[in-house]
Amino acid sequence: MSTTRQTDEKRTPRAAGAYDHRAIEAKWQAYWDRQQTFRTLNPGEPGFDASRPKYYVLDFFPYPSGAGLHVGHPLGYCATDIVARYKRMRGFNVLHPMGFDAFGLPAEQYAIQTNVHPAITTRANIDTYRRQLKMLGFSYDWSRELATCFPDYYKFTQWCFARMFEAWYDEACAWPGPDGRRVVGRARPVAELEQQLSSGAWSVDATLGIVRAPAADGNRAWSELSPAEQREFINRRRLAYIDEIPVNWCPALGTVLANEEVDNQGRSERGGHPVYRRPLRQWMMRITEYAERLLADLEDLDWPEPIKLMQRNWIGRSTGAEVVFPLAGAFSWQDGRWRTRDGRPIVGRELYFHQDVIRIYTTRPDTLFGATYMVLAPEHPLVARVTTPEHRPAVDRYVETARHRSDLERTAETRLKTGVFTGGFAINPVNGERIPVWVADYVLMGYGTGAIMAVPGHDTRDFEFAKQFDLPIIAVVRPPDAWIHEQITTRGVDEDYCRRTGRARLPEQLLNSASAAAGIIGGITAQDATAVLDGDAGWVNQVAWPVYAAGPGIFHEAYCGDGVGLNSGRFDGLPTPEFKERIVGWLEEQGLGRGAVNYKLRDWIFSRQKYWGEPFPVLHGEDGETIAVPDDELPVELPQMENFRPTPVADDEHTVPAPPLARAKEWVSVTRGGKTWTRDANTMPQWAGSCWYYLRFIDPHNEHRFCGAEAEKYWSPVDLYVGGAEHAVLHLLYARFWHKALYDLGYVCRAEPFAKLFNQGMIQAFAYRNARGSLIGPDRVAHRGEDQFFDSQTGEPLTRIVAKMSKALNNVVNPDEIVSAFGADTFRLYEMYMGPLDASKPWNTQDVPGLYKLCNRIWRLVVDVDTGELSPALTDDAPDEAALRLLHKAIRKVGADIEALKFNTAIAAFFDFVNGVTRMERRPRGIIEPFVLLVTPFAPHLAEELWQRLGHSESLAYQSWPAYDEALARDPEVEIAVQVLGKIKARIMVAADADEKTLEAAALADPAVREAIRGKTVRKVIVVKGRLVNVVAS
RNA sequence: GCCGGAGUGGCGGAAUUGGCAGACGCGCGGGAUUCAAAAUCCCGUUGGGGCAACUCAGUGAGGGUUCGAGUCCCUCCUCCGGCACCA
């Protein structure tokens, strides 16, 4: 990329006082460093001023990639720096730190390619980032810098993990949080649980459930459990636990792949090797226990509503029921009661807990009578049990192919549904009917119970599936008549389905009657349909309705809304909500089900089979016991390894990954108290370090605690957190979860970490597309005129489009070049002036000189370019009213815009001010000095230099923000528009505070308005004070 | 596919949240200054018609609500972000 501005050498001799961004920026950056201008004190430190309010403004810290910063990164940093500098000037103690998210996959992959250790490349990358960030003049307190990959940091990431490993979730615990709010559910130390149990206060039931009472009625005391059972009991409840979870296992690469690394053929993006979706032992975080609190606490956060909505959808709370469908081979329904195969009657809730049942979750228990088949996810443990021998080959084949498909692909609604019959049957518990059990991949193991009752009459996916495999479809909800009518009149009847299922006569009959009733067919409109209904309600009742009730498959879609119960025995006629309530009650009585809340949110897979991450601070014993490494032995340092690659193994899905750490033999094996233990060879995901870095910034050098309690209490929460919307769900949800766990355990004093969140947009870049749709980078594009572009190699015409900056497109803009040519202040102003902070917008280097010009113009307000002295136009005279109005408008606008994070319009106000002052022959200091203060947050180097030249000896970083006078910030007279019937006919000048009557009179007196309403009667006059008058006349 | 967001002059965008569409900047055109250029300053710049006063159209497309819609509602199109092991 080349910038168009000429270099200094090419220009004619520089005037002595020209704006020299290089000298100024170097000077002030050195000054800030030397003076430690932005060093922030913690409570308790000498000089800390407790009388000031605090403000914690934080950026999403960057991942230091090898490419260095591109112009997209600093967008948010410019914004937070403006806020940080502004808040300091408003008298706040400001915490504004920066650090690096330095563990992770890209560093490891780069290291594998180049054979340079990730620790080395990461350090070098951090150095580059730091240099670039300092170059931009951000007011970070660099003494608080941290990186997640340094042992003094990850020592406490491991400490947090150990706390979660040693915690269990007590969902029944109701307690007042330290901030006074009542919370239900709490992570508590495992030791507390063990104490309750071993003291005999609590006991254990047959399914290893907690009984909050001493042992009785078959419940066992803790001491009666075997050590293995005790361990199992505890492990099942830990916040951090180990479980078998399906992952993308690629034996040829020796590693587990991210979904994005797997192509849609089920092969690895890199190398095209087979990938198997198979369960592997993984560390998991029990985030699902926090689903309800993560959802509820969203309410009070000052976050963008769309982000909250995305988190709500992600958590995906639904209410419904869990219901068991007994397997037909194991149970029967005879003489009004359930019996085992050998005829023994079932008692109590035995069925509900029995293993020979299919447990399903449904949000629509009111449609239980419409369940005509069941579907198990291919991974469901019951698949093997229900499949009959003659169906086994087909089922096995199906399960095998399903393993290669991603969840995304499996649930895509465009895809043709697939599935196979297992040969097995279950019994519908509400009516005792035998229904077939299928396996299909549109059911996911990870959601609900991994099995569904299929109600094809009232669920879109089941409806499609049933039609495809000719499974029975029955109606159990009566839709509103209008729905049936609309189906007939707009979408028509599924003739093909009717023919196949031998219902040929029914639609004919239906349509004939419809036409008889309506008098028209085919071309009927939706409005007409209503009229037809009104005219002959009997038609729907007598013809269309019975036909639908007999077979809802006649239409092209299922009715999925609420309605009235039908074909449901004694529940017939109940409206959906009441039906749900009643049937859940009945299921509970019968021991066949219960009301349930379900979440889409899944537990968090917390291990990676990678080298460059935090080692787990745990030891595995030979007998299956896992213990946390004692705190005083932390950190468990990542061993130095020459070879940090994964180990490829034979292409056999049953192989097990050997993470790189497993090869560090001396590191892995540990002896404790005569026993041999093994370290965990997995590492934590990159999210781990970023889940609590905002806490470490508060007290980054504390060797004893992740963060001092007093400092945490003072600085929490983060008042403003700015970063890209691509983190809307995952990082922000994981961090909230992590924070709540620390909160429950008493380590932090607030339930939420980030009070206000703002999502910056993405900076894009122009790219070019040829007629075949290929993208061409700007380096290969020739311009002709303003808007014609050609491929410089082939001569083909190209169209300009906006695309993500990427190395592949060669459209990445590096801030170093921009800063070198125009300076950091121009760079900051340009980034902020591009548009609203939250919008994505294309970088256009052509526009940068406009902001450079602004810097020059501001410079010349103070400095005489020829001499380098103060400008002769600068006077000590009292400013006149016009000058004061200019200033006070600017103060009001800039302050309000910074508070609202609308930096682009704040800069427009700078232009307005400068345009105004440029026209003035004499420039009173009384308006120039305050204006320099306004500019400070945006262009701090320029402002510091001007401030000094204006005769001030101290940095203006802590000068008070100027105040404005409301009377001077508003014009005394305003122009308002006068409309007649919404069309503007005149503009009149009136006093700004003129009342409605005055405005109306002035408007009606205007000649143009009188002309427009001549001969008409004025019906109404709408007056909006200070805005417009609209005369309605006819 | 599902969830979320966005479409306004040649370009980036503004619009006090239902009240004068196009603030401000870039670009472009014209002028002043200059031997000339750069820089600077001034004027113009949504499109159509008109010498002009003025007038008609106009915020992705179509419909609706309203005295009044860029803004609210419905349908559709295009682009961007996320979809759990990229972070």
**pLDDT one-digit tens code per residue, A258-272:** 887 887 777 888 788
Which segments of A599-692 are extended strands (E)?
604-605, 618-621, 626-628, 669-672, 675-679
| Whether A814 CB is under 7 Å from strand B | no
* Nucleotide with the nearest C1' to A613 CA: B85
Q: Which of residues 437-466 of A touch strand B (CB under 7 A)?
A: 446
Q: What is the DSSP string of A356-423?
A: SEEEEEES-GGGGGG--EEEE-TT-TTHHHH--GGGHHHHHHHHHHHTTS-HHHHH-TTSPP--EEEE
Q: What b/e readout covers A78-98, taking b as 16+ CB neighbours within 10 angstroms? A: bbbbbbbbbbbbbebbbbbbb
Closest nucleotide over all strands to A600 (CA to C1'): B84
In this structure, is the CB of residue A507 within 7 Å of any atom belonging to strand B? no
A340 CA to B4 C1' in angstroms comes to 50
Q: Check if the interface score ipTM surpasses 0.85.
A: yes
- Which positions 172-211 on chain A have a beta carbon less than 7 angstroms from any atom of strand B? none
Distance CA A114 to C1' B26 in A: 43
Question: Minimal CA–CA distance to A29: which of A136, A126, A128?
Answer: A136
Rounded to whole angstroms, the distance from the CA of residue A4 to the C1' of nucleotide B78 is 33
Tell me the residue type at A876. D
Amino acid at A291: A
Residue A790: pLDDT above 80?
A: no
Taking a C-beta distance cutoff of 8 angstroms, is the pair A380, A450 a contact? yes
**Does the CB of A786 fall within 7 Å of any strand B atom?**
yes
- Mean pLDDT for chain A overall: 87
pTM equals 0.92
Q: What is the DSSP letter of A543?
A: I
Residue A521: what pLDDT?
33
Task: Report the distance from CA of residue A826 to the C1' of nucleotide B25 in Å, as an integer.
Answer: 13
pLDDT in tens, A417-457: 889 999 999 999 999 999 999 999 888 887 888 999 999 99
CA neighbor of A485 nearest in space, from A555, A577, A426, A576: A555
The answer, yes or no, to whether residue A128 has pLDDT greater than 70, is yes
Distance CA A1004, CA A318 (A): 59
Gap between the Cα atoms of A142 and A692, Å rounded: 18
CA of A561 to C1' of B73 (A): 22
Q: How far is the CA of A527 from the C1' of B67 (A)?
A: 29
Return the closest nucleotide (C1') to the Cα of A414. B1
Q: Which of A614, A635, A617 is nearest to A626 (CA)?
A: A617
**Nearest alpha-carbon partner for A57 in A29, A92, A33:** A92
Q: So what's the pLDDT on residue A537? A: 55
A992 touches strand B (CB under 7 A): no
Strand partners, A329: none
| A612 nearest nucleotide via C1' and CA | B85
Identify which of A647-656, A684-693, A768-777 has the greatest average pLDDT: A684-693
Nearest nucleotide (C1') to alpha carbon of A409: B1
User: How many other β-carbons are positioned within 10 Å of the β-carbon of residue A65?
Assistant: 18
pLDDT digits (tens, 9 = 90+) for A224-249: 999 989 999 999 999 999 998 888 88
pLDDT of the residue at A80: 97
A128, exposed or middle or buried, with CB in 10 Å at 0-12, 13-18, 19+? Answer: middle
pLDDT value for A414: 61
Angle value at C-alpha A831, between A829 and A837, nearest 5 degrees: 115
In the prediction, which pLDDT does A649 show? 80
For the cut 50, the answer to whether the pLDDT of residue A517 exceeds it is: no
Q: Say if residue A951 is exposed, middle or buried (CB neighbours under 10 Å; 0-12, 13-18, 19+).
A: exposed
Q: Is the CB of A705 under 7 A from strand B?
A: no
Q: Is the CB of A725 under 7 A from strand B?
A: yes
Answer for A305: CB within 7 Å of strand B.
yes
Q: Which of residues 966-985 of A touch strand B (CB under 7 A)?
A: 974-977, 979, 981-985
| Measured CA A777 to C1' B8 distance, in angstroms | 28
Is any atom of nucleic acid chain B found less than 7 Å from the CB of residue A728? yes
- Which residue is nearest nucleotide B40, judged by alpha carbon to C1' distance? A857
More confident of the two residues A641 and A518: A641
Strand B atom within 7 Å of A788 CB: no
B6 C1' closest Cα residue: A839
**Residue range A171-181: mean pLDDT, rounded:** 85
CA A876 to chain CA centroid, Å, is: 54
How distant is C1' of B59 from CA of A57, in Å?
Answer: 36
Residue of A459, A481, A466, A432 lying closest to A367 (CA atoms): A459
- Beta carbons of A273 and A255 less than 8 angstroms apart: no
Q: How confident is the model at residue A7 (pLDDT cuts 50, 70, 90)?
A: very low
Q: What percent of chain A has pLDDT over 70?
A: 92
State whether residue A273 is helix, strand or coil. coil
B81 closest protein residue (CA to C1'): A726
Which positions of chain B lie under 7 Å from any protein Cβ? 1-6, 10-16, 19-21, 23-28, 37-42, 55-56, 67-69, 79-87
Confidence (pLDDT) at A131? 95
Q: CA-to-C1' distance for A183 and B72, Å?
A: 39
Q: What is the C-alpha separation between A995 and A998, in angstroms, rounded? A: 5
Q: Which two tokens stand for residue A442?
A: 């549109």
As a rounded value in angstroms, the CA-to-C1' distance for A992 and B54 is: 29
- Work out if A109's Cβ lies within 7 angstroms of strand B: no
Q: Is A932 helix (H, G, I), strand (E, B) or coil?
A: helix
Q: Which residue is nearest to nucleotide B26 (CA to C1')?
A: A847
**CA–CA distances in Å: residue A630 to residues A670, A696, A759:** 13, 21, 39
User: What gap in Å lies between CA A562 and CA A575, rounded to an integer?
Assistant: 7
A468 touches strand B (CB under 7 A): no
Integer Cα distance of A656 and A671 in angstroms: 25
Within a 10 A sphere around the Cβ of A45, how many other Cβ atoms? 10
How many alpha carbons fall within 13 Å on the CB side of residue A957?
21
- Measured in angstroms, what separates residue A800's CA from nucleotide B60's C1'? 18
Distances (CA, A) of A982 to A684, A1008, A1020, A1023: 63, 14, 12, 12
In DSSP terms, A147 is beta-bridged to A100
**Residues A186, A293: Cα–Cα separation, whole Å:** 10
* Nearest-angstrom CA–CA distance, A500 and A495: 9
* A407 Cβ nearer than 7 Å to chain B strand: yes
Residue with CA nearest to B25's C1' atom: A850
Residue A1028 beta carbon within 7 A of nucleic strand B? yes
pLDDT at A349 over 90: no
The least confident of A36-40, A153-157, A400-404, A760-764 is A400-404
Residues 825-884 of A with CB under 7 A from strand B: 833-836, 839-842, 844, 846-847, 849-851, 853, 856-857
Nearest 5°: the CA angle A734, A737, A738 is 85
Nucleotide with smallest C1' distance to residue A786 CA:
B10
- Greater pLDDT, A513 or A1026: A1026
| Mutual angle of helices A925-935 and A940-949, in 10-degree steps | 150
Buried (b) or exposed (e) across A306-342, using 16+ Cβ within 10 A? ebbebbeebbebeebbbbbbbbbebbbbeeeebebee
How far is the C-alpha of A72 from the C-alpha of A84, rounded, in Å? Answer: 20
Q: From the Cβ of A11, is strand B under 7 Å away? A: yes
3-state helix, strand, coil in chain A (%, to 5): 40, 20, 40
pLDDT higher than 60, residue A56: yes
Q: Which of residues 12-31 of A touch strand B (CB under 7 A)?
A: 12
**CA dihedral (A626, A628, A630, A636) positive or negative:** positive
Q: What is the mean pLDDT of residues A739-744?
A: 96
- Write the burial class of residue A260 (CB in 10 Å: 0-12 exposed, 13-18 middle, 19+ buried): exposed
Question: Parallel, antiparallel, or unpaired for β A240-250 and A451-454?
Answer: unpaired
Structure tokens at A387: 């499949």
Closest nucleotide (C1' vs CA) to A843 is B12
How many other CB atoms are found less than 10 A from the CB of residue A396? 13
Phi, psi of A708 (to 5 degrees): -65, 145
Residue type at position A100 = F
DSSP structure string for A770-834? -TT--EE-GGGEEEETTTEEEETTT--EEEEEEEE--TTTT----HHHHHHHH-HHHHHHHHHHS
- Nearest nucleotide (CA of A60 to C1'): B87
Cβ of A953 < 7 Å from strand B?
no
Cβ neighbours, 10 Å, residue A181: 12
C-alpha angle A732-A246-A363 in degrees, rounded to nearest 5: 70
Candidate from A691-705, A742-756, A781-795 with smallest mean pLDDT = A781-795
Nucleic chain B contacts, protein chain A, residues 339-358, CB cut-off 7 A? none
pLDDT of residue A513: 54
- Mean per-residue pLDDT, A959-968: 94
pLDDT at A631 (0 to 100): 95
Closest nucleotide relative to residue A1024's CA, C1' based = B19
A106 touches strand B (CB under 7 A): yes
Which residues does residue A677 pair with via DSSP β-bridges, in sequence order? Answer: A621, A670
CB proximity A687–strand B (7 Å threshold): yes
Asked whether residue A355 carries a pLDDT value surpassing 90, the answer given is no
In terms of phi and psi (left: phi > 0; alpha: psi -120 to 50; beta: otherwise), the region of A272 is: left
Question: Is-contact A101 A614, C-beta < 8 A?
Answer: no
Cβ A431 to strand B below 7 Å: no
Among A928, A926, A927, A937, smallest CA distance to A959 is for A937
Alpha helix stretches (DSSP H) within A93-150: 105-114, 118-135
Residue A75: what residue type? L
